[in-house]
Structures are given as C-alpha cells and as structure tokens.
Amino acid sequence: MGCTSSTPNINVNSHDKNDTLPVPGKIDTIQYELNGFFLDQNPKVAVSKYGLPVNEGETLHTTWKRYRVADHSFMTFEALKTNPKAIHSIQLTGVFNEHFYPFLGIRIGDDKSRIYNWIGKPDNEFDTKNKNTKQLVYKDKNFSFEINNKQKLIGIKIWATQNKYDKYQNPLGLENTHYWRSFEGGIIDRKSEYLIFRIRPDIKIYIDNEMHIFNLPLRDLLFDEDSFYYKLFFSMEGCLYTNLLHNNSQLTYRDHNGTQEIIVHKFSENNCLEKIIFSSYYGRWRAHEIHFKF
C-alpha cells in the first residue's frame, strides 16, 4: 500500500448541532433528499437502481424520466437542460411501502393530519390536474405534498433552489471548524446518518487520480456494509476511517475553484489519504472531493 500512520487521534464524538433527525415542528427550510436520492446526484443513479424508465418527456427548460419503484409507486427525476448531469427535482408518488425512506418523519400513505403535526399547515392548497387530489405548498420551502380525496398522502416532491451554493453563514476564519469535527466524527464513529449531512450529493472520489462518482442513492452506498464506498469509507485497508483515526498531520487552507470558495484539508505525503476538499452546499461546508493514493 505504501501508506503509514501516526499516533491515533482521540475519538471524536462531536457533531454539528444541526446534524439531527427530524423533530415535529422544527423542520429545515431546505430539503435535498427523497427516498434515499439527493438533489444534484447524477440522474443515472435512477437507472442503476430501477432500470429503464417507464416513460419520459420534457418541458421548456427540463427533461424528466419516470421509474417504477414498487407496485403502484413511481419516482420521477427531472434535470435542467442546461445541467443534464444533476438531478433538479425528485418526486415520489404512490402507496405506502415499508421500504421507502420516510421524509421528515412522514411516509406515503400517512394522513394529512400527520403532515400538519410534523410540518405545519401549508401556506396554500391547490387543486391538481386530477380533480381528486390537492397539492400542499409551503412558502420559502423547496418541497410540496399531494393529498387524495381520502386525505391520504400520495405524493412528495423536492426541487433545487438558486441559493444552494451560498456561503456558510460564517465563512471567514478557519477557527470555525465544527464542519470538520462533524465530518471526522461521522467517520470515526462510523455514523453514516451523520456523515450524510457532511457530503455533497455530487461528491467526487479520486483513487490514484481516477475519478469515481456515486452510482446509487447515497443511503444505499453508505449504509450497505458490502458496498465498495462503505468499505472505502469505513472498513478496507487504507480506508478513510483508518486514515482519520491515525493521522493528525494535516494542512488546512482556503482556496477557490472557479468562483466558488473551498476549504482544503491536506494530509502528509506518506498517507493513503491525500486531501479532502470542502465547498458550501445549502448553507453547510460539505466534502466535495476526497483524494486517495494507494
């Protein structure tokens, strides 16, 4: 392998105070995950997961593909024509399925009252093209719900917003390192649930200068102990876990990638882990590139 390690760091148990599971009535304005898929992942992840779409089409500015994900249930992925390699919106429609990931504590098939209890009353309700359903819309939020005439949830949709690359609220000064403590803690504690908050959906993994992108939903990859990326992060020789646990020699500096500000964590030359690059995404610094050299 050609990699060495130094004295182990103290185990890290510090997570960002915002890296928490949903609490009724306390929901972040922006959501970027639906049923394990994330906005800005490559749309090809849907093909890898579900096979060919059942139908597809386009609007003036977007293209979309619809996939059967279970009996009577579908997911639709939309991409901008100007950015076809990034998912712009995700919609899940259908009936209850125990294998679907909950959205903010809510599942397809739940009563409308549960949405009110967890999310709050919508700002508007609109009739859809189907006269038997209504769309629940929230001001300043990037998600909506669809309810049938039995007051049951049959659809959830999320979409990307223009401010997704805004800088972190306190971008100046490297002394504010809670983003790193949260990322490092997620790795060393092997907490995929927290780590997801510190990884960009379009993260790039470089192994000996060869680029890899996640080809399945993030949760499928980071929660499955048999997946290559789980092993690369947590269990294989030279994995991210081993490098962060045993390596406390790193140089941190700010830089720019085009117009976007980044933070680079660079490790000593005799480590398998070369560097981790963070950039801002929906108000948090998140890992955008991880470079290994085996």
Determine the pLDDT at residue 143. 96
Q: How many beta carbons lie within 10 A of that of residue 273, not counting itself?
A: 24
In a domain, 74, yes or no: yes
In a domain, 108, yes or no: yes
Confidence (pLDDT) at 280: 87
Find the domain containing 137 and state its range.
33-159
Burial of 35 (0-12, 13-18, 19+ CB in 10 A): buried
Same domain for 203 and 142, yes or no, is no
> End of a domain among 108, 126, 159?
159
Specify if 5 maps to a domain. Answer: no
Q: pLDDT value at position 23?
A: 53
pLDDT on residue 14: 41
| Claim to verify: residue 107 and residue 187 sit in the same structural domain | no
Nearest Cα neighbor of 247 from 232, 265, 229, 222 is 265
Retrieve residue 250's tokens: 């790193």
Residues whose CB is less than 8 angstroms from the CB of residue 77 and which lie 6 or more positions away in sequence, other chains included: 37, 43, 46, 64, 65, 67, 87, 89, 90
- 279 and 200 in contact (C-beta within 8 Å)? yes
Residue 83 belongs to some domain of the structure:
yes
Does residue 251 belong to any structural domain of this protein?
Answer: yes
Question: 42 and 130 in one domain?
Answer: yes
Do 131 and 185 fall within a single domain? Answer: no
Question: At residue 152, what is the residue type?
Answer: K
292, 178, 234, 282 alpha-carbon torsion, rounded to 10° = -80
Residue 16 domain-assigned (yes or no): no
pLDDT at 148: 96
106 vs 66: CA distance, rounded Å: 22
In terms of domains, do 186 and 146 share one? no
Distances (CA, A) of 30 to 92, 128, 158, 223, 242: 17, 23, 9, 23, 33
Domain-located, residue 8: no
Looking at the fold, whether 54 and 154 belong to one and the same domain comes out as yes
In CATH, what number is assigned to the domain containing residue 281? 3.10.450
218-253 burial, b at 16+ Cβ within 10 Å, e below that, comes to bbbbbeeeeeebbebbbeeebbbbbbbbbbeebeee
Residue 271 has a pLDDT of 84
Distance CA 144, CA 235 (A): 38
CA distance 145 to 284: 26
Domain-embedded: residue 165: no
Find the CATH number of the domain harbouring 63.
3.40.33.10
**Is there a contact between 93 and 146 (Cβ–Cβ < 8 Å)?**
yes
Pairing of strands 199-207, 284-292: parallel
Residue pLDDT tens, the chain, 294 long: 445 443 333 333 444 444 445 555 556 678 989 999 999 999 999 999 999 999 999 999 999 999 999 999 999 999 999 999 999 999 999 999 999 999 999 999 999 999 999 999 999 999 988 778 999 999 989 999 999 999 999 999 999 987 666 654 444 444 567 888 889 999 999 988 888 888 999 999 999 999 999 888 888 888 999 999 999 999 999 899 999 988 766 788 888 887 788 999 999 887 899 999 999 888 788 999 999 998
Q: Say what the pLDDT of residue 162 is.
A: 75
Domain count for the chain: 2
Nearest Cα neighbor of 17 from 185, 236, 218, 164 is 185
What's the pLDDT score for residue 2? 47
